[in-house]
Amino acid sequence: MTSSPASSDAGPLRQVLGCLGGGVRDRREVAVRTGLAPDVVDSAIETLTRLGLLTATPLGSGCPDQGCGSCGSGRADATAGCGAPGPGPGANRGPVALTLTSRHRSGRAGA
């Protein structure tokens, strides 16, 4: 039996890549589908971005009125998952689109 990239016998990086490649749209849904703890999903996304397998592109300048905890980019601890330093004038905050890079899709790099 072969496992899918998001199966539980794959490592966290492969599970997260599998979910994002399969169309999952936010961190919370990745956690639900993989069974990984939200902070593990956050760490995996940060690692994949650092490795160049994902890119994070700001979607706009607006943040939800309810704060980072209600944002799809928000981390498990309700801090900004978009790389923003936090609330304040001029802060670069808001939701980001996580995009698989062509490097991942071509199979030249793995996680």
What pLDDT shows up at residue 3? 40
Look at residue 21 and tell me if it is in a domain. Answer: yes
Look at residue 3 and tell me if it is in a domain. Answer: no
Tell me the average pLDDT across 4-28. Answer: 82
Look at residue 7 and tell me if it is in a domain. Answer: no
pTM above 0.85, yes or no: no
Tell me the average pLDDT across 7-32. Answer: 88
Look at residue 44 and tell me if it is in a domain. Answer: yes
Region of residue 87 (phi > 0: left; psi between -120 and 50: alpha; otherwise: beta): beta
What pLDDT shows up at residue 32? 94
Distance CA 34, CA 12 (A): 8
Give the total number of structural domains in the chain: 1
* Lowest mean pLDDT segment, chosen from 4-18, 31-45, 49-63, 80-94: 80-94
Tell me the average pLDDT across 94-106. Answer: 65
Per-residue three-class SS string for the chain: CCCCCCCCCCCHHHHHHHHHHCCCCCHHHHHHHHCCCHHHHHHHHHHHHHCCCEEEEECCCCCCCCCHHHCCCCCCCCCCCCCCCCCCCCCCCCCEEEEECHHHHCCCCCC
Tell me the average pLDDT across 69-96. Answer: 63
Look at residue 84 and tell me if it is in a domain. Answer: yes
Domain that holds residue 46: 12-104
Per the DSSP assignment, residues forming a β-bridge with 99 are: 55
Crossing angle between the packed helical segments 12-21 and 38-50, to the nearest 10 degrees = 80
